[in-house]
Structure formats: structure tokens, C-alpha cells
Structure 1
Amino acid sequence: MRRGIAASALVAALAVSLAACGSSGSSSSTAGNGPVTITYWDTSNATNEAPTYMDLAKKFEAANPNIKVNFVNVPFDSAQNKLQTAMGSKGAPDVFRSEVGWTAAFAKAGYLTPLDGTPALADSAAFQPSLLKQASYQGKTYGVPLVTDTLGLLYNKALFAKAGITAAPTTWDELKADAATLKDKTGVDGFEMRAGDGYYAMPLLFGEGTDMVNTAAKKITINSPQAAAAVETYKSLFTAPGTVKADLTSDGYAHMMDAFTTGKVAAIINGPWEITNIYQGSAFTDKTNLGIAAVPAGSAGKPGAPTGGHNIAVYAGSDAAHQAASEKFAAFMTSATSQTEIAQKNSTLPTRSDAYTPALTADPGIAGFQAILPVAQPRPELPEYSSLFASIGTNLGKILQNQESTQAGLDSTAADYTKLLPGFGK
């Protein structure tokens, strides 16, 4: 899951123990026959999501009086580096919320314990197989899928209707045509795209039948003709009539979301993690005004979007007692009941079918994203995959500012990938 907004000052308030005597890191101890205290690093948004996870941790404690939870909220943007540092030295949490792209990398480094055959994966058959695959590395499962997400086309139904548009666009050319119509008929910008962020450009790559790399062939494909065509289409989404020019400022994401939630732009590409914020906007006091469709398709003829989300992972450096308690905690947090509660309060997508209750799917945001999950593409089993986004994001920014050509920018990215993936060819 990608986020463009920083965690608020509430992080400081949430970085406290649920237990009266919990300590930071996996060094928390058991006194005699007293309770085991496990440290859990939560990487969700402190304002909109963390309170739900904190409530669940309290419920877990109530159901398991011999286990206490030291709940620490860590800002998502800095969590990967903090986890890497902590697990490589000391102070690592016993259990934590891991972005799907981190799991394989941490497993490769030996930081995670396999969960196959443990209480954490007792309900493995209930989870979507593709999501369990994303939590795996070299045949072993190192995380329990907690929430999933993907990117979709989010649009303002009222503005589309005012412009006489009766259905969401299914191709990028249709999207550009609709953007022009929306601007002409309503005076509102038709479409805005997150600029200079490789994750948001993935639907363009998938739409041309390619990816940043071909893992099976061990080949770098980011500078292929298909990728160049994808980026040319991406560039056009910022310059076509009715589209918003590229906002590469540090507040670009916030500007896009403010424009959409207040009805100043009719459509964007984003994920389910923003649903609760969207519902708070003046343009969506009526939740049914939010339209959700699959991302448009490219020349390959099929839409495709990245699969994101988070797993619960257990630190391999904890002792047996803390690992056992952490496995129980992972099972509780990913149970059908817990996932339904998380989805109801945070508008995120469960990873198991039995969590999609009728009450949950009555939410148009949840139902809308559930419907487009089939076009989401799981990430390959490549520990370095999440690290690939940095270079492509930087070079997309340069391409959008005409500081380098499309091909030069992609060639520069490919050169960076060669350093990250020495076994891959071009």
C-alpha cells in the first residue's frame, strides 16, 4: 500500500505500550510465570487506521491474559529503514505489520521466521492464494496477509453525469477524451494523476504487457519499447485537454486528494486506503457518489494494477516464548472477525473471503474495490522489487519536467537496476 501523506503528530501519542510495563524491542521478558510482553510495530496511518489496530490489540490481550502487547505506531514512510536497522542490530519488534514488498527482502536477510504449520497460518486455506504467494520466499511463508489493496479509477458520478458520460472509461484514450468533455461541460478538471511516483505508473506498464523486470527470465525490461510506450502515455495524462499538469511538489499527493474530495477534479487513480478520507470530503457526503472502476487498459487490451497490502510478520530473533505469543497475535489480527472489523472501520480490503460480510460489502467503496481485485497483478517473488520504485520515480519526475527524454530516463533507470540486480540482463 502506498501513501502520499505523512503520519500526523498522533504518532507520538500512539507510540505507547498497551501494557503497563512493556519494553521496546524483543528483549521484553517474562518474570516467573507472569505474562509475556510482545512488542508490535504498527505501520498504519496514525490518524485514520492505527486506532482500529490498537483496539484489536486490546481485545487480543483480553482474550489472552498471559500475553501483553506493547503497541508502537511507526510512520510508514520510515518504517522499512527502521525495521532494517532494528533487526540487523537490536531493538527489533517481536511482530510487525510489513508491507508486502518488504516481506521477501526481510526473509532473504534471515530476519523473519517461517510461519507454515504454526498457529499464525492455521486458517491458511481461507486466504487468497495469490496473497499467500506474495508473503512467501523460496517455498516458505513468512507473513500472514492482513489487508490487500490495488489501484483503481476513482470518479465523481455526479460530475460524470453532468458531462453526459454514462460509463467509466476503459482505455487511456477514452479517459483523455472524457477529461476534455468534463472540462468543457462542467468547468472542472477531468483527471489528475499522481506524478513522479513509480507505483502509480505501474498500470501503464501492465497495460503494455510489461513490468519493470521479468523475474522468470532475469531480465530488466524497464527500458523496453513497451515500457517506453507506457511512459509516453503516462506523460500525455498530464498535458491532454482537461487533465491537471504534473504536480511534483512534496505536497502533490495532498493537492490531488483535496481537489478530488472537494469536487474540483472529477477522476483520479488511487487505492482503497483513501476511502475514509474521501467520504469526509464535501463532494462525497453521499457515499454512492463515489465511482470505482478498473484502471484503463493499454494497447495490450487488458487492464492491470499492482497488488499492495500488508502482512503480519514475526521476527526470527525473538526467543521461543515471544515467537509463540507473536504467532497467536498474528492469527488473531488476521482472523475473519478482525479483518471484517478493520475493513468496516478503515475501509481496507480483507485478504480472506469469509471476512466479506453482507454489511461490509454494503459499503460502496469496499464493494467497488472488491469487484476490481481480479485485474490486480501480484508482485513477483523478488526481494529487491520494492527497491525498484525509487529510481523509476526519480526518472519519471525528470521525464515529466523535460529534463531527459523518455528513453534516456528509462535507460538511466535500467542502469540503476543493473546495480540492484547483478544477475539480471537487459
Structure 2
Amino acid sequence: MRRGIAASALALILACSLTACGGSDQASGSSGNPAKDGGTVTWWDTSDAKAEAPTYRAIVADFEAKYPKIKVNYVNVPFADAQNRISTAFSTGSDAPDVIRSEVGWTPELAAQHYLRPLDGTPALVGAKDFLPNPAAATRYEGKTYAVPQVTDTMALFYNKRMFAAAGIDHPPVTVDELKTDSALIKKKLGKTGFYLRGDDAYWTLPFIYGEGGDLVDADTKTVTVDNAAGVRAFKVIKGLVDSGAAKTSLTDGWTKMMSDFQAGDVAMMINGPWALSTVRKGGGAFAAPSNLGIAVVPAGSAGQGAPQGGQSYAVYANSKNIAASELFVQYMSSSEVQAKITKALGVLPTRKSVWARPDIASIDSVKSFKKAIDKVHQRPWIPEGDSLFAPLATEYAALLSGKESPQSAARNTGDAYRKNLGWK
């Protein structure tokens, strides 16, 4: 999952492109025996404070029971504030955490600023070949590994099975055209809106951009692609969903409104990720019976189906004073045993092949439901400026949905902003 980069974080990227920030890129071997020597590890966890954090607190307690000489200072940091707080703490060195839960898009940015410790050859990175290729790719920058995959994710179509049945729909839409047709049926028979399109976060544009065969940039050729023909088609598709009445949207507080309407049964479909499963299942309403929740691959555009690679990783602060204990903590938290516990408790998706292969994991509804979506995942550009791509896109996305810009001008303005910010063609 990803949220837009804050202005202060972007400023740090630009500043650190000119001067070295943080610590050294050389990962010297950890010394000592942390299990025997002990220490204190401060971990900043960005999981949902109500739905997910209790599970992580329990696992931290298990770690402390296994390694009684190591104390973990657990801090739950709201995801919306985390990127700014992490960048500020690392840049100043003041009360900086030893370990962070890093959204995959943050890793190359923080690595480029020399804030993260390379983990190749350290105790933190055990069983590296067991990690799925896509999550592993998101932990590397310029040939080095700066994080260890925690959970992987992508986006999928969530739908209300009872509403579908009442409208006479026997399967989730496979294409955007089918989504519009289904929405019309739901409106006609139930008087409800078919689909909620989140309008305040540009990350929700990506399935439509990928579905039309587009992308934001081509990092290999350093070319801006968001405003090519595929990008314009995607913006037309998005606007068409709202203009046709197939979708409702909001430009403010989109997450809360989307989740509330879906939970209440006021809309039949939304695009979301495994990070939302705990909230949906614990929120009652239309999903008091969890079996009413259906999950399918995002509807395809003219070029096919595709949703962004997301997820979270564990990373160690380069200037941590507790390196050995921190690496042992990351090793434990990313182990197969702990990944299985997290998946069973929260329904999130593991990053280790060995965990996916376990029958008790493969049989979990969320794992089964997201398997096809994970297989169709689209890699985001793993560049330091990756998160900064969303701010211009968010501005033009809002202008598009509000009718202030046409699909063509919204795509063009986004592309022009990218070329100015990146210096690419």
C-alpha cells in the first residue's frame, strides 16, 4: 500500500541527491551475541492501531519471551504521518527508531539518502531465496538489499455477494465494461450505487492505468509515459465511470467514506487491498457474516488486468546503536513461523514461498482470493523519486473528477510535472 509523499520528504530526497545523508552504505558484520548480550530495539510499526497493532504487540511479546535480554520499545506510528516522521528522525538522529516498517515505495528513497543499513550477509536476511521475487525486488536499490519483506499486497475488487445475488449477477465483473453493466443492474434493482471509486488518493488510478497498458514512467529509459495514449485512455475510463453513474466518489476523506458505504451496503463494490480485510471483517454491517465478502482480480481495461505491487518491509536504521539486536529482531519478525501467525491473524499476504505452500495458509480465504491478483501484479518503479510521482497525479486526478480538467489535459499536466521534477524526457 502507498500514500502520497509529503512535501518535506520530497525536499529531503532532492537535498540528498546532492550530498550524502545518513550513515555509511557499508554493512560491517554484526558483532557480539545479541541473545546473550541483550539490548533495546525501538520499532516503529505503521500498522492499523486498532485492527492490526494488537497482533504485532503479541508477536513482540513472543520475541521478548524468547530473547529475555532484549527489550523491544514498540511504537505504533499512524501510517499517514509515518513517512514524514521517519525522514525527520533519520535526518536529525533525534529519537530515531532502530527498525521501521517501511512501505515498499519508501525503501529506495531512504536508501538513496543513506538512512538504511544494507542487509546482505547480515543475520537479518536469512533464507533470502525463500522470498517471492516481486517483494524481494522492492527491497533492493543499486544492487544492495536494504530491507526484508514483511507482507506483500496488491489491489483487488471487493464485492458484496448478497447484493450481487439480489441484482441477479452471478459473477464479479471481469472487465470495466462489465463493471458498468453490473452497476446499472444494481442501481435498477436495488437503488444503490454499484461502485465506489476513491477520489482522494492517486494510488487508486493505477489499476486503470495498467489496465489500458500504461504506466507512470519507464525507469529503464528515463521516459515519462503517464500522458501517452494509454494514459489518456485510462483517464477517460476513470471519468466515464463517474459520469455514467456507475461509480460514486469523493475528493475528501475518501478512505472513511468508501469503507463506510461499503460496510453499510450502500455500494456493492470497491477496489482495495488486503490491508482493509481486518477492518471490513471486524466492522459488522453488511459483512457481519464474513462469507458475504467476495474478492476478485481488478476488472480489466482494454489491455488486460493489472494492479500495483505493494507491501511492507522491515528496515534497519544505518546509525542504530543497537545493530545486532535489531538484526535479530528483523530475522525473527520475517521468519516463516511469524509470517504464518500474522497471516492467520490478519489475513495479510506472506512474502515467503514456504509460507504460501503451507496447507493451513493456502486454505485461508484471503490468501486464496488474492492469489490470482498477486499473480497479475504490476511492478512500480523502484526509484528514490517513486513516491513523489503521486503528488502531481493526485492534483490532476482531483481536477479530472471535479470536471476542471479533461482526460487529455489531466494526463498532459501530470506528465509535464514529472518531466520538470525528474528531468526526464
The reply to whether TM is greater than 0.5 is yes
State whether residues 384 and 420 of structure 1, in contact with CA within 8 Å, keep that contact through their aligned partners in structure 2: no
Q: Which residue of 1 aligns with 2:57?
A: 54
Q: Which residue of 1 aligns with 2:291?
A: 288
Q: Per the alignment, in what secondary structure is the counterpart of residue 190 of structure 1?
A: strand
Q: Which residue of 1 aligns with 2:313?
A: 311
Q: State the shift of 1:51 in Å.
A: 1.4
In 2, Cα distance between equivalents of 1:3 and 1:254: 15
State whether residues 182 and 242 of structure 1, in contact with CA within 8 Å, keep that contact through their aligned partners in structure 2: no
Q: Which residue of 2 aligns with 1:401?
A: 402
State whether residues 98 and 326 of structure 2, in contact with CA within 8 Å, keep that contact through their aligned partners in structure 1: yes
Q: Per the alignment, in what secondary structure is the counterpart of residue 296 of structure 1?
A: coil
In 2, Cα distance between equivalents of 1:195 and 1:241: 15
Higher deviation after alignment, 350-359 or 113-122: 350-359
State whether residues 396 and 409 of structure 1, in contact with CA within 8 Å, keep that contact through their aligned partners in structure 2: yes
Question: Which letter does structure 1 place at the counterpart of 2:348?
Answer: T
State whether residues 134 and 380 of structure 1, in contact with CA within 8 Å, keep that contact through their aligned partners in structure 2: no
Q: Which residue of 2 aligns with 1:415?
A: 416
* Aligned pairs, number: 392
State whether residues 290 and 365 of structure 1, in contact with CA within 8 Å, keep that contact through their aligned partners in structure 2: no
In 1, Cα distance between equivalents of 2:72 and 2:271: 37
Q: Which residue of 2 aligns with 1:261?
A: 263
Work out whether 1:83 is the aligned partner of 2:60. no
Question: Which letter does structure 1 place at the counterpart of 2:320?
Answer: S
Q: Which residue of 2 aligns with 1:104?
A: 108
In 2, Cα distance between equivalents of 1:79 and 1:257: 22
Question: Which letter does structure 1 place at the counterpart of 2:354?
Answer: D
In 1, Cα distance between equivalents of 2:298 and 2:406: 26
Question: Which letter does structure 2 place at the counterpart of 1:285?
Answer: A
Q: Per the alignment, in what secondary structure is the counterpart of residue 121 of structure 1?
A: coil
**Deviations for 1:18-54, whole angstroms, at most 9, x for unmatched residues?**
xxxxxxxxxxxxxxx9631111111111111111111
State whether residues 2 and 103 of structure 2, in contact with CA within 8 Å, keep that contact through their aligned partners in structure 1: no
Q: Which residue of 1 aligns with 2:136?
A: 132
In 1, Cα distance between equivalents of 2:3 and 2:393: 17
Identity of aligned residues (%): 45
Work out whether 1:143 is the aligned partner of 2:144. no
Question: Which letter does structure 1 place at the counterpart of 2:141?
Answer: Y
Q: State the shift of 1:150 in Å.
A: 0.6
Q: Per the alignment, in what secondary structure is the counterpart of residue 318 of structure 1?
A: coil
Work out whether 1:160 is the aligned partner of 2:164. yes
In 1, Cα distance between equivalents of 2:73 and 2:278: 27
Q: Which residue of 2 aligns with 1:114?
A: 118
**Deviations for 1:357-386, whole angstroms, at most 9, x for unmatched residues?**
433344323321123210111222211111
Higher deviation after alignment, 370-379 or 198-207: 370-379
State whether residues 307 and 373 of structure 2, in contact with CA within 8 Å, keep that contact through their aligned partners in structure 1: no
Q: Per the alignment, in what secondary structure is the counterpart of residue 159 of structure 1?
A: helix
Tell me the TM-score normalised to structure 2 length.
Answer: 0.88
Q: How does 1:199-210 map to 2 (within 5 A)?
A: 199-210=203-214
Q: Per the alignment, in what secondary structure is the counterpart of residue 68 of structure 1?
A: strand
In 2, Cα distance between equivalents of 1:369 and 1:375: 10
Q: State the shift of 1:287 in Å.
A: 1.8
Q: State the shift of 1:203 in Å.
A: 0.7
Q: State the shift of 1:2 in Å.
A: 4.0
State whether residues 147 and 350 of structure 1, in contact with CA within 8 Å, keep that contact through their aligned partners in structure 2: yes
Tell me the TM-score normalised to structure 1 length.
Answer: 0.88
In 2, Cα distance between equivalents of 1:189 and 1:402: 20
In 1, Cα distance between equivalents of 2:315 and 2:200: 30
Q: State the shift of 1:400 in Å.
A: 1.0
Q: Which residue of 2 aligns with 1:343?
A: 343
State whether residues 150 and 339 of structure 2, in contact with CA within 8 Å, keep that contact through their aligned partners in structure 1: yes
Q: State the shift of 1:276 in Å.
A: 1.5
Q: Per the alignment, in what secondary structure is the counterpart of residue 292 of structure 1?
A: strand
Q: Which residue of 1 aligns with 2:237?
A: 233
Q: How does 1:346-385 map to 2 (within 5 A)?
A: 346-356=346-356, 357-385=358-386
Q: State the shift of 1:410 in Å.
A: 2.2
In 1, Cα distance between equivalents of 2:167 and 2:366: 23
In 2, Cα distance between equivalents of 1:130 and 1:242: 33
**Deviations for 1:86-113, whole angstroms, at most 9, x for unmatched residues?**
1111122111100000001101111111
Question: Which letter does structure 2 place at the counterpart of 1:166?
Answer: D
Q: Which residue of 2 aligns with 1:323?
A: 323
Q: Which residue of 2 aligns with 1:16?
A: none
In 2, Cα distance between equivalents of 1:348 and 1:145: 13
Q: Per the alignment, in what secondary structure is the counterpart of residue 324 of structure 2?
A: helix
State whether residues 239 and 407 of structure 2, in contact with CA within 8 Å, keep that contact through their aligned partners in structure 1: no
In 2, Cα distance between equivalents of 1:269 and 1:277: 14
**Deviations for 1:130-181, whole angstroms, at most 9, x for unmatched residues?**
2111110011111100011110011111211222211111111111011001
Q: State the shift of 1:407 in Å.
A: 2.2
In 1, Cα distance between equivalents of 2:290 and 2:412: 44
State whether residues 197 and 392 of structure 1, in contact with CA within 8 Å, keep that contact through their aligned partners in structure 2: no
**Deviations for 1:225-266, whole angstroms, at most 9, x for unmatched residues?**
21011011011111224432x2112x2221111111121111
Q: Per the alignment, in what secondary structure is the counterpart of residue 192 of structure 1?
A: strand
In 2, Cα distance between equivalents of 1:64 and 1:197: 41
In 2, Cα distance between equivalents of 1:84 and 1:419: 24
State whether residues 38 and 69 of structure 1, in contact with CA within 8 Å, keep that contact through their aligned partners in structure 2: yes
Q: State the shift of 1:204 in Å.
A: 0.7
State whether residues 121 and 331 of structure 1, in contact with CA within 8 Å, keep that contact through their aligned partners in structure 2: yes
Structure 2: tracts of 5 or more residues without a match? 5-35
State whether residues 169 and 175 of structure 1, in contact with CA within 8 Å, keep that contact through their aligned partners in structure 2: yes
Taking only aligned residues, the RMSD between alpha carbons, in angstroms, comes to 1.8
Q: Per the alignment, in what secondary structure is the counterpart of residue 73 of structure 2?
A: strand
